[in-house]
Structure 1
């Protein structure tokens, strides 16, 4: 298991109005980030505002949670332009239940939910969020001595994104070659390890020498290409002389256009994201080379997805990834920022590729 990377930042107090036995005396004062201005280019600190909020006493069927770990992910940048101003900034968290009037959600258990950038949340039944077809909060499964933060990474949404997005769409076969862009991130690093478990030749594309070294030496990738210092076209000819069968695309743009031209007949492309264009002006998106000739003449299958497509078998992915961790076949790395007040820095740092593996914030 890879030791977590932590940035030592100040963490403020969390909860007010609690007695020693964790019962609520009157109400809870909490904090949340709200979207005060739409992002233009790279998000700015002034686009989000931290506001205080008072939560009322619980009603029957409700439970109160306190955030322990909060996630920052690339999809947040892509979704924000679709959201109204004044909304709580979106995102998932692992939170501890500190009071409950719902027997299905007992005190001291942890939940995983798309609760947004907020310290405390009252949850009642299905928790609706602005993200289409989202999942209700669920109890974190028993993961033994593993950290609860993994519910935001390999044992949560990114882990299932890798598991279902790669296996269901790419349909990998032993002996084939897979390429993963954004390979040192939470999803990409996971996809590459699944590909190795299935017996594929695995090529990762990342943006620093240290990330490429990590992919090869720690995670077992066969090849790693530094797109900032290497010619991807030349490097792919050397690493995949017989072509590419599966491509897991996290970045889009010119990198993906180059990979597509190295695909074999009937190759499969799973499109998870396009982080290279997330900060671009929607009215002036960057142009890439035409990809249709590669799609047509190689008869490629290219499919985008949102992981909630598989919400009805969500725990299948978690259980399988947990099994691989226990077997030593799946490693993980977390880049952890301490302090709820540092959410924005962690978010922008993740968008700029400063993290290795999963980027999270410890509240």
Structure 2
């Protein structure tokens, strides 16, 4: 890409897409194409085809997806597999047909087997059964990887696939019923502190280990790899270190300033025992994560505090306005 390249970001209002847009603008890329869901429904093949035929972007970051935590994945399996398959199929095919020079597909570390060797290497893909609580999302993302590889092999389409670990950061989803573990814990601990509670209940045993990457690091890695990587092999994007859920809860407790105790509800599912990515292939390209976990959690909590009343109680329009205001103030403005 050069500074004048036309770049389409699918999912520019999401956690990762907005960070990628902000990173590109910070680097001087000005010709960024975006569409809201109202303007372009990525589930509609004909609409997506028309968009690509009209706009003809040179580069595409495919960050649009239906995402959520264990509860959301387990509760809405049909939506998770259907919507993600449709989004990525429509975008990848239309991108190739319209002459896009390069596409970056964002997957997820949940593509790996539940009991994959740790840390998980890219070659562990499809070597064992998936974690049942998110297999619908994982199957869709695996299909996206294989579609990128198939289009590269048959049509010579330059498409790369990145597998990020657990992401977090400003603008995250803090809904307790369908968010990921880190933002859910931030909200739980904050509300417990505000209500004067003596304890916070965390799902599971606290023993599973997870790796967490700040979304601004993910955006930086995405742009770096779009510029410096062009192979069929997928690339893990993470920090190469993990913590237990119990340790994560302690990180969050300190950041929030909650002084009560943490209780683990062992009747709730743990999910995959461990999800640590091997980032050897990534570091070989000259990139590594820069934002420490404690610093990232404090930054995310500061964002939450500035927007907590609207996030918790406001209308969807209010939430979006607050989100855009916060992104603008942090240099990650969206259209």
- Structure possessing the higher radius of gyration over alpha carbons: 1
Identify the TM-score tier after normalising by the shorter chain.
0.3 to 0.5
Higher-helix-fraction structure: 2
TM-score normalised by structure 2 residue count:
0.32
Higher-strand-fraction structure: 1
